[in-house]
Amino acid sequence: MDNLSATSALGGTRIEGVMAAISDRIAARSLMPGARLPSVRSFAKTMQVSVSTVVEAYERLAAEGVIRSRPGSGFYVCGPLPPLLLSEADASSDRNVDPLWISRQSLEVGDDVLKPGCGWLPPAWLPQAALRRALRTLARGDVGALANYGTPLGLPPLRQLLARRLGDHGITVPPDQILLTESGTQAIDLLCRFLLEPGDTVLVDDPCYFNFHALLRAHRANVVTVPFTPTGPDVALFGQALERHKPRLYITNSAIHNPTGAVLSPVTAHRLLKLADASDLIIIEDDIFADLEDVVAPRLAAYDGLDRVIHIGSFSKTLSASARCGFIAARRDWIDGLVDLKVASSFSCGQLSAELVYLALKDGSYRKHVEALRVRLAKTMSEVATRLEAIGIVPWLKPQAGMFLWCVLPGGVNAADVARACLAEGIVLAPGNVFSMAENAGSFMRFNVAQSTDVRIFAVLEASMRRLRQPPPGG
């Protein structure tokens, strides 16, 4: 009976079983391009399903471009087909360990691969019940939320809610100075388009979030790095970089720093703003980990009053990475220009995602979710740190909050070599130099503790490091 029984046994629907049966015939070349499919009635009899099941399966295959309908004639296989391959080699593991290496590996591999190097929480750690309630509310609500473009600034109730939330962090901003974006990444991209010309100099921390490197490269910026300390960037070297390179921007994480987990101190924050004011430097602070804090850390935007500091954030880390929604809080005159740029480049923002985020955030369970999440992360942080230390991997510092541990590997071990070795064993790691444009972090590794609970990770890590530390035969 083709593979309908197998599909049903694996939890698939009868419609999916019919689709799989047709797809398998096409892949095996028993149905070639241009071939007419069995009639709906005859194939329903063959598969022992209802006619309506086959009709829906055919319609879905047509929507996917696998087959096409000819009115009055039936359904036919589309073509041409891709080459028939006996095996498909995956060369992604041979890719250079560059700023996009972790993202590509983490996003492309299947669920069976362990991802202690990725930058997000496991789905089971996110508020799935609140998201499902929000989706049901949206499905029953006004069709405008499902079908219309949003306003240029973004959903007004969400911007009002964000203004109140930012106030809790000492940032006073009215809703009309908040611009919704499709993500935190799009927020930085818009700001780079708005503020930079090719060749402009931008300061970043060393180490810093690797996607800052990739975005700035795309905008053809000249990137200068400043060493990062447990209390923020090295202020003396920061001042020297301002004098020598005359940068246009400085991009950093506020509160919980990625990848180190460090927190900016009030003294460092005041000194940075004083230097920025004297040098006419604009600062973008990325605050996507805000809800993971136990104690509110200093925000440059709060001290500065959104004069030369631009504050951005999103909810991909604590709510859902699928609900793409971020924001920019900035001076009113900059917001006006950013709105024009946003309309020109993407016309609007994701109205559906904004509605979903708003409903989930105002759900009373979200506050309880983040409170429980902080406790769970703190417990897991301690457990993972203990396991890492047992195999000779030492945290650079013990973070106050968050999901990341920035760790030093044992002497003589290169993090990129360890990452390649572990990838062959089905484990994606985050080697230090993808976070360091100066390549000063070859012996460091970032671990996402929420993704590091499987004991296999530590066994494979230890074995890989042992092999890499052994001299070659005859050496």
188: domain CATH number?
3.40.640.10
In a domain, 122, yes or no: yes
Average pLDDT, the chain: 89
What pLDDT shows up at residue 472?
58
In a domain, 324, yes or no: yes
Statement to judge: residues 110 and 142 lie in one domain:
no
Residue closest to 101 by CA, chosen among 435, 460, 408, 418: 435
Residue entry with tokens 């699928």:
322
Q: What angle do CA 348, 352, 357 make, to 5 degrees?
A: 110
Statement to judge: residues 66 and 215 lie in one domain:
no
Average pLDDT over residues 18-45: 88
Statement to judge: residues 49 and 105 lie in one domain:
no
Statement to judge: residues 341 and 402 lie in one domain:
no
**Mean pLDDT lowest for which of 136-150, 220-234, 434-448?**
136-150
Average pLDDT over residues 327-341: 95
**Mean pLDDT lowest for which of 104-113, 358-367, 388-397, 427-436?**
104-113
Statement: residue 365 has pLDDT above 50: yes
Alpha carbon distance 211, 234 (integer Å) = 21
Axis crossing angle, helix 351-362 with helix 128-140, rounded to the nearest 10: 120
Alpha carbon distance 339, 329 (integer Å) = 12
Average pLDDT over residues 44-54: 92
- Long-range CB pairs of 84-88 (<8 Å, 24+ gap) are 84/27, 84/29
Give the model confidence (pLDDT) of 421-474 as tens digits: 998 899 999 999 999 998 899 999 999 999 999 999 999 999 999 999 876 555
Residue entry with tokens 């972790």:
102
Domain boundary among 364, 394, 415: 364
Give the model confidence (pLDDT) of 178-198 as tens digits: 999 999 999 999 999 999 999
What pLDDT shows up at residue 350?
82
Alpha carbon distance 87, 17 (integer Å) = 24
Statement: residue 105 has pLDDT above 80: no
Alpha carbon distance 208, 258 (integer Å) = 6
Percent of the chain with pLDDT over 70: 92
In a domain, 474, yes or no: no
- pTM of the shown model: 0.80
- Distance from the first to the final alpha carbon of the chain: 61
pLDDT confidence bin for 7, thresholds 50/70/90: very low
pLDDT confidence bin for 24, thresholds 50/70/90: confident
Statement to judge: residues 174 and 234 lie in one domain:
yes
**Mean pLDDT lowest for which of 10-19, 42-51, 108-117?**
10-19
Statement to judge: residues 262 and 201 lie in one domain:
yes
Average pLDDT over residues 135-153: 84
Alpha carbon distance 59, 17 (integer Å) = 14
What pLDDT shows up at residue 345?
84
Statement to judge: residues 257 and 339 lie in one domain:
yes
Amino acid at site 53:
T
CATH of the domain at 390: 3.90.1150.10
In a domain, 175, yes or no: yes
Statement: residue 254 has pLDDT above 90: no
What pLDDT shows up at residue 9?
37
Statement to judge: residues 267 and 374 lie in one domain:
no
Average pLDDT over residues 76-88: 57
Residue closest to 56 by CA, chosen among 8, 22, 27: 22
DSSP lists the bridge partners of residue 224 as: 203
Average pLDDT over residues 149-153: 86
DSSP lists the bridge partners of residue 444 as: 408
Average pLDDT over residues 306-319: 95
Domain boundary among 333, 364, 395: 364
Domain that holds residue 312: 128-364
What pLDDT shows up at residue 84?
42
Statement: residue 160 has pLDDT above 60: yes
* Ranges 67-71, 136-140, 375-379, most confident: 375-379
In a domain, 2, yes or no: no
In a domain, 359, yes or no: yes
Statement to judge: residues 308 and 374 lie in one domain:
no
How does strand 430-431 pair with strand 178-181? unpaired
Statement to judge: residues 412 and 447 lie in one domain:
yes
Question: How many domains is the chain partitioned into structurally?
Answer: 3
**Mean pLDDT lowest for which of 10-19, 229-238, 427-436?**
10-19
Sorted by sequence, the CB contacts under 8 Å of residue 271 that are 6+ apart come out as 235
Statement: residue 141 has pLDDT above 60: yes
**Mean pLDDT lowest for which of 107-116, 293-302, 454-463?**
107-116
What pLDDT shows up at residue 4?
52
In a domain, 276, yes or no: yes
More confidently predicted of 424 and 244: 244
Statement to judge: residues 305 and 185 lie in one domain:
yes
Alpha carbon distance 258, 305 (integer Å) = 24
In a domain, 348, yes or no: yes
Statement to judge: residues 342 and 378 lie in one domain:
no
**Mean pLDDT lowest for which of 33-42, 108-117, 173-182, 440-449?**
108-117
